[in-house]
């Protein structure tokens, strides 16, 4: 067996973002023959094929929960430190088995206890296993924990994912000292894009840091996320329907839909009523009607467009929903598949009903409230408001005519894991990533291109860098179809890109998606990501590219 590597993640190993990154990184390292010591709070690690052992770390006690024969060349042991049931996060969410609070909501005592528990577990494992390499995730608290735990034992590298910088450190300077100590203590720092590098340098302005930062984007499983012919798409759809049929569906349900309908009859939208609806179902679950809704999809007839991601204001899902009637006016057979969960689900359901009913009063209320519909401070949705302000005359009538049955053209699924997404995503012809907030990387766009699906992304941050890379392998006339500008015209631009793409001859689209798939395999496979991490951990940063700052 090759050298061993200690990885501190501290969260789950499924879902989205850094969770998927660390699961796939660990699998790739095990396939390369490495012994991986992975620190996580994953509740069901036994379901992951690359995990051979599971150990709970409870103060000085080491409790082995699972041991089995390795399935790959290397080995992976998952370590779960006892953190007292309190899981600090960057963006509010729900996690099975934990009390969840954002970092700013923690008292100093709670924060120090969380750090100390993890430091003790990491140092104990490091002393016992003597790993040759170490790797931390996020700007806080992973690097700080490794800095304290591994002092005098071995150096470490860091991967910056973005959320900690944007949602925690930037608005709350209380956490900057932790970030500085942990990140400046690393001998290599990986960022997914030039945008994240720029944000990191704006947060920690130290020349010594800039010399150690290298490009290390996440990856995609190009074997499972792959193009499929029509027969394989239909088979994949049937697999999804069968799989969902056997799973518990505790998400958005008929009772919640009825509550939304009742809200539409009121003059004002009030947070207590919205919260009451949300508390009646599991926002982190699969939709009650997911199986039946997906079953109506027909990849031989429908023109399917997909969105995959969190249902929160900053992801811009409302822009896509507002653009959808403009697509239906041109493509009446179009279906919009929305895979995701989040605190803006009720706001999106209200928006859809308001559009369907031509209820401008509710639309304008939603635009004025914004994040207040998530339970946060009100945040004006200027792009939504600007779009409806600009709808006049015949365009107004045409839009709402196309929108009359908009909800029948949408399929919400709730939260789905990657084992289902690999069968679902290839059904789409295009995928839209309309995020209005900076993104570290366009992971879901890369997964789409691996499947032969055309990505349409917001032209900023890490998303723009993905679009820029893809633009090198397609003709100049098609490059504009990869992205749109986030601004007052964003809704129209999203619709225009979708309509142009769907109207193109199939042979032309197939040539373009073949080119983007080829580049994706070359640039973003997980084996390549693993080798980048290994080089960073070993201090071989001269082998890695320097990020290009925006």
CATH of 230-524, one of 3.40.50.10860, 3.40.50.2000, 3.30.390.10, 3.40.50.880: 3.40.50.2000
Cβ pair 143, 179 in contact under 8 A: yes
Q: What is the mean pLDDT of the chain?
A: 95
Residue found by looking up tokens 């789905």 in the block: 416
* Residue 82 to residue 445: CA distance in whole angstroms: 36
**Which tens digits make up the pLDDT trace of 84-135?**
999 999 988 778 889 999 999 999 999 999 999 999 999 999 999 999 999 9
Has residue 549 got a pLDDT over 90? no
Has residue 535 got a pLDDT over 90? yes
Question: Coil, strand, or helix at residue 56?
Answer: strand
Cβ pair 443, 220 in contact under 8 A: yes
Helix (H) or strand (E) holding 245: helix 230-245
**Which tens digits make up the pLDDT trace of 157-183?**
999 998 899 899 999 999 999 999 999
CB neighbourhood size of 332 (10 A)? 11
Cβ pair 109, 512 in contact under 8 A: no
**Which tens digits make up the pLDDT trace of 81-95?**
999 999 999 988 778
Q: In what order do the strands lie in the sheet with 53-58?
A: 61-67, 53-58, 75-81, 35-39, 4-8, 133-137, 157-160, 188-191, 213-215
pLDDT (0 to 100) of residue 201: 96
**Which tens digits make up the pLDDT trace of 183-195?**
999 999 999 989 8
Q: Which of 288, 511, 272 is nearest to 413 (CA)?
A: 288
Grade residue 481 by pLDDT with cuts at 50, 70 and 90. Answer: very high
CB neighbourhood size of 29 (10 A)? 31
pLDDT (0 to 100) of residue 359: 97
* Residue 520 to residue 121: CA distance in whole angstroms: 38
Calculate helix-pair angle for 176-184, 142-149, nearest 10 degrees: 60
CA distances from 400 to 262, 324, 393, 408 (A): 22, 11, 11, 15
User: Which residues does 511 contact at the CB level (< 8 Å), separation at least 6?
Assistant: none
Residue found by looking up tokens 């600009």 in the block: 390
**Which tens digits make up the pLDDT trace of 309-367?**
999 999 999 999 999 999 999 999 999 999 999 999 999 999 999 999 999 999 999 99
Cβ pair 304, 333 in contact under 8 A: no
pLDDT (0 to 100) of residue 1: 65
Question: Coil, strand, or helix at residue 465?
Answer: helix
pLDDT (0 to 100) of residue 417: 87
Q: Which of 507, 429, 423, 454 is nearest to 234 (CA)?
A: 423
Structure tokens at 371: 């994040």
Before 141, cis peptide (omega within 30)?
Answer: yes
CATH number for the domain running over 4-219+525-543: 3.40.50.2000
CA 466 to the chain's CA centroid: 15
Rounded average pLDDT over 500-526: 95
What are the sequence ranges of the domains in the chain?
4-219+525-543, 230-524
User: Which residues does 41 contact at the CB level (< 8 Å), separation at least 6?
Assistant: 10, 11, 12, 80, 81, 83, 87, 95, 98
pLDDT (0 to 100) of residue 406: 96
Cβ pair 90, 18 in contact under 8 A: no
pLDDT (0 to 100) of residue 337: 98
Structure tokens at 86: 């309190």
Range from 8-12, 369-373, 414-418 carrying the lowest mean pLDDT: 414-418
**Equal fold, 4-219+525-543 vs 230-524:** yes
Has residue 59 got a pLDDT over 80? no
CA distances from 118 to 54, 59, 124 (A): 16, 9, 10
Q: Which of 43, 48, 52, 42 is nearest to 4 (CA)?
A: 52
Residue found by looking up tokens 């088979």 in the block: 235
pTM: 0.78
Question: Coil, strand, or helix at residue 202?
Answer: helix
């Amino acid at each position: 067996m090759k050298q061993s590597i200690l990885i501190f993640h501290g969260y789950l190993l499924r879902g989205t973002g850094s969770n998927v990154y660390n699961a796939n990184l660990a699998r790739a390292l095990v396939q390369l023959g490495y012994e991986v010591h992975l620190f996580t709070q994953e509740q069901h690690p036994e379901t992951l094929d690359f995990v051979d052992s599971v150990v709970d770390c409870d103060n000085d006690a080491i409790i082995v929960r699972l041991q089995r024969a390795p399935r790959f060349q290397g080995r992976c042991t998952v370590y779960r430190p006892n953190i007292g049931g309190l899981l600090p996060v960057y963006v509010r969410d729900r996690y099975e088995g934990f009390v969840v609070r954002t970092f700013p909501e923690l008292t100093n005592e709670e924060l120090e206890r969380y750090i100390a528990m993890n430091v003790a577990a990491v140092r104990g494992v490091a002393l016992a296993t003597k790993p040759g390499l170490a790797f931390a995730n996020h700007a806080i608290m992973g690097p700080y924990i490794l800095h304290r735990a591994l002092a005098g034992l071995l150096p470490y590298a860091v991967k910056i994912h973005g959320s900690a910088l944007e949602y925690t450190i930037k608005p709350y300077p209380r956490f900057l000292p932790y970030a500085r100590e942990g990140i400046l203590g690393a001998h290599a720092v990986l960022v997914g894009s030039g945008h994240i590098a720029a944000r990191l340098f704006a947060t920690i302005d130290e020349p010594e840091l800039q010399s150690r930062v290298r490009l290390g984007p996440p990856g995609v499983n190009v074997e499972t996320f792959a193009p499929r012919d029509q027969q394989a798409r239909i088979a994949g759809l049937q697999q999804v329907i069968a799989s969902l049929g056997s799973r518990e569906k505790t998400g958005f349900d008929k009772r919640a839909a009825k509550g939304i309908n009742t809200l539409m009859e009121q003059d004002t939208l009030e947070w207590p009523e919205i919260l009451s609806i949300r508390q009646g179902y599991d926002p982190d679950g699969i939709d009650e009607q997911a199986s039946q809704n997906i079953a109506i999809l027909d990849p031989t007839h429908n023109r399917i467009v997909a969105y995959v991601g969190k249902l929160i204001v900053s992801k811009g899902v409302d822009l896509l929903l507002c653009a959808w009637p403009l697509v239906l006016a041109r493509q009446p057979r179009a279906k919009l598949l929305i895979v995701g969960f989040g605190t803006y689900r009720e706001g999106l359901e209200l928006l859809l009903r308001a559009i369907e009913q031509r209820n401008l009063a509710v639309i304008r209320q939603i635009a004025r409230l914004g994040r207040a519909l998530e339970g946060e401070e009100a945040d004006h949705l200027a792009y939504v408001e600007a779009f409806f302000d600009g709808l006049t005359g015949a365009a107004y009538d045409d839009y709402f005519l196309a929108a009359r049955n908009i909800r029948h053209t949408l399929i919400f699924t709730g939260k789905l894991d990657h084992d289902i997404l690999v069968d679902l995503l290839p059904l789409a012809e295009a995928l839209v990533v309309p995020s209005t907030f900076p993104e570290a990387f366009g992971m879901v766009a890369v997964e789409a291109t691996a499947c032969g699906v055309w990505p349409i992304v917001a032209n900023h941050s890490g998303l723009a860098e993905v679009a820029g890379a893809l633009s090198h392998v397609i003709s100049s006339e098609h490059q504009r179809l990869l992205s749109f500008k986030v601004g007052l015209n964003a809704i129209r631009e999203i619709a225009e890109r979708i309509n142009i793409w769907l109207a193109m001859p199939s042979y032309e689209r197939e040539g373009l998606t073949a080119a983007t798939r080829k580049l994706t395999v070359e640039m973003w496979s997980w084996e390549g990501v693993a080798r980048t991490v290994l080089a960073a951990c070993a201090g071989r940063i001269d082998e890695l590219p320097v990020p290009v700052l925006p």
